[in-house]
Amino acid sequence: MHEDLAERIARIEAREQIRDLVGRYGMTVDDRDIDGVGSLFAVDGVFCHGGNYVVNHGRAEIVEF
């Protein structure tokens, strides 16, 4: 029972972290805070856009875009 509860809490916390990340992303893009946007991606993150015709690999490439 405790393991089930711990898993449920972990899922709820993960969802809240994702919601927070989405909110911070929107705020940094609106503020045109390029370094802030970059900080939201993992060093080896991937950013797909333009109908997935453009793919940026890594934080540095994402920030450069």
Distances (CA, A) of 51 to 46, 54, 55, 56, 64: 14, 8, 10, 13, 19
Q: Can you give the pTM of this predicted structure?
A: 0.73
Quick one: pLDDT at residue 2? 67
Domains in the chain, number: 1
In tens digits, what is the pLDDT along the chain, a chain of 65 residues?
A: 567 999 999 999 999 999 999 999 999 999 999 989 999 999 999 999 888 788 999 999 998 88
pLDDT computed for residue 1 by the predictor: 56
Give the model's pLDDT for residue 3.
76
CATH code, 8:
3.10.450.50
Residue 36 CB burial class (10 angstroms; 0-12, 13-18, ≥19): middle
- What are the strands, taking DSSP E only, across 1-65? 46-49, 54-57
